[in-house]
Amino acid sequence: KETKALQQLWASAFDAWINPLGLMGQHEAVYMCPLPEAFDHSQSADLPAWFIDVLDFLGSNSCDHWGLFALTASNPLGVELPSNQNAALNAQLESDLQELSTASTGKHVWWHSFGFAAHWHEKGFTVAAEPDLVIQLAKKYQQGAIYSYRRAPPEKSGKVSCLLRVSVPVCMEETESEVLVVPCGRPDCDTADANWTTSN
């Protein structure tokens, strides 16, 4: 896919996190979407507990050498591979993340996640770690970009409690984007299923 198309896809995609911070059921997925233009601001006062805990986590751990990131080993440089090849690559990345967590005595935490849109689904991981470590892993697996999540500053979010999701270029230039994301229910599309594959 061309860089511009990937940039637009990554900017408009949904996020799904599976058991973030170990707060949910073992395989329970929670969802986030780009902030709708017609967002009901009253919803921001009724945030799910997992999202509040993530905001608190970012507030307590976010500093110059820490961050929360999403990355995958799938589809290096945006070239779509068969699902079995992507699964093998992600298994290698999961092993790397386990080693990272063990070496830090649990300071680096991670969980399964995936990004998706109506006709796109890419499995991966969300990890709390130093940016340099995550970028090194992304380069190892030839990823065009990664997501960085931050607490959205008031000048960007207004009255809405949300995250600022930033696409950070790694192996592909001109893939930057900044999108405010908020919790949402499960979108009504097949790709929202954590077990979805290209053979579905």
Mean pLDDT of the chain: 87
**Could you give phi then psi for residue 134, rounded to 5 degrees?**
-70, -40
pLDDT at 161 over 80: yes
pLDDT at 21 over 90: no
Beta-carbon contacts of 193 under 8 Å, excluding residues fewer than 6 positions away, are: 200
User: For residues 68 and 105, which has the higher predicted lDDT (pLDDT)?
Assistant: 68
Q: What is the mean pLDDT of residues 66-82?
A: 93
User: For residues 129 and 61, which has the higher predicted lDDT (pLDDT)?
Assistant: 129
- Between β-strands 177-184 and 67-71, what pairing exists: parallel, antiparallel or unpaired? unpaired
Structure confidence by residue, pLDDT tens digits, 133-159: 999 999 999 999 999 999 998 888 877
Structure confidence by residue, pLDDT tens digits, 23-50: 656 678 999 999 987 665 555 567 898 9
- pTM for this prediction: 0.89
CA neighbor of 72 nearest in space, from 105, 108, 110, 19: 110
Q: What is the mean pLDDT of residues 50-72?
A: 81
Count CA atoms within 13 Å of residue 2 on its CB side: 3
Q: Report the C-alpha gap between 147 and 65 in whole angstroms.
A: 16
pLDDT at 75 over 70: yes
Q: Per-residue confidence at 171, pLDDT binned at 50, 70, 90?
A: very high
Under 8 Å between Cβ of 147 and 113: no
Under 8 Å between Cβ of 41 and 198: no
pLDDT at 200 over 60: no
Q: What is the mean pLDDT of residues 99-103?
A: 89
Question: What pLDDT score was predicted for residue 83?
Answer: 92
Q: Per-residue confidence at 61, pLDDT binned at 50, 70, 90?
A: low
pLDDT at 190 over 90: yes
Question: What pLDDT score was predicted for residue 196?
Answer: 92
Question: What pLDDT score was predicted for residue 3?
Answer: 77
Question: What pLDDT score was predicted for residue 24?
Answer: 59
